[in-house]
C-alpha cells in the first residue's frame, strides 16, 4: 500500500508564495516591520484601503489603485539596492 502525505509536509513554501505575493496592512510602519522581521524584500504600496507589502515579483500595475510608497531590501539584496548604491558611489 502506498502512503501519501499532504504537499505541505513535503514542500516548504515561503510565506510570500503562500499569500500570493501580497499581504495587507493598516499602516506603512506595520508593512515595513513585517518585511524586516521576515527578511523579505519587496515594495510597500498605498491602496485605496490601507497598504500592501508585495514581493519583488509584483508586476507593476497589477493593482490599479496602488502607488509605490517604499522599496524594502533584505539581507540577500533581492532588490539590488546595495549593488546600485555601490556603483553610484564609485562612479564619481
Within a domain: 9? no
Within a domain: 1? no
Cβ atoms of residues 37 and 74 within 8 Å: no
Domain enclosing residue 27, as ranges: 16-90
Within a domain: 51? yes
pLDDT classification of 82: cutoffs 50, 70, 90: low
Per residue in 26-70, pLDDT tens? Answer: 999 999 999 999 999 999 999 999 999 999 888 888 889 999 999
Cβ atoms of residues 53 and 15 within 8 Å: no
Within a domain: 11? no
Give the pTM: 0.68
Q: Distance between CA atoms of 76 and 60, rounded to whole angstroms?
A: 22
How many structural domains is the chain composed of? Answer: 1
Within a domain: 21? yes
Within a domain: 72? yes
Within a domain: 75? yes
Per residue in 16-32, pLDDT tens? Answer: 454 558 899 999 999 99
Within a domain: 77? yes
Q: Distance between CA atoms of 28 and 45, rounded to whole angstroms?
A: 8
- Average pLDDT in the 70-78 region? 94
Range of weakest confidence among 57-61, 77-81, 84-88: 84-88
Q: Distance between CA atoms of 6 and 26, rounded to whole angstroms?
A: 34
Amino acid at each position: 500500500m502506498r502512503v501519501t502525505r499532504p504537499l505541505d509536509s513535503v514542500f516548504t513554501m515561503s510565506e510570500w508564495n503562500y499569500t500570493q505575493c501580497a499581504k495587507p496592512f493598516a499602516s506603512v510602519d506595520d508593512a515595513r516591520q513585517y518585511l524586516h522581521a521576515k527578511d523579505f524584500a519587496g515594495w510597500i504600496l498605498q491602496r485605496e484601503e490601507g497598504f500592501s507589502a508585495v514581493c519583488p515579483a509584483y508586476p507593476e500595475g497589477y493593482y490599479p489603485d496602488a502607488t509605490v510608497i517604499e522599496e524594502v531590501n533584505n539581507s540577500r539584496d533581492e532588490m539590488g539596492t546595495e549593488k546600485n548604491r555601490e556603483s553610484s558611489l564609485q562612479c564619481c
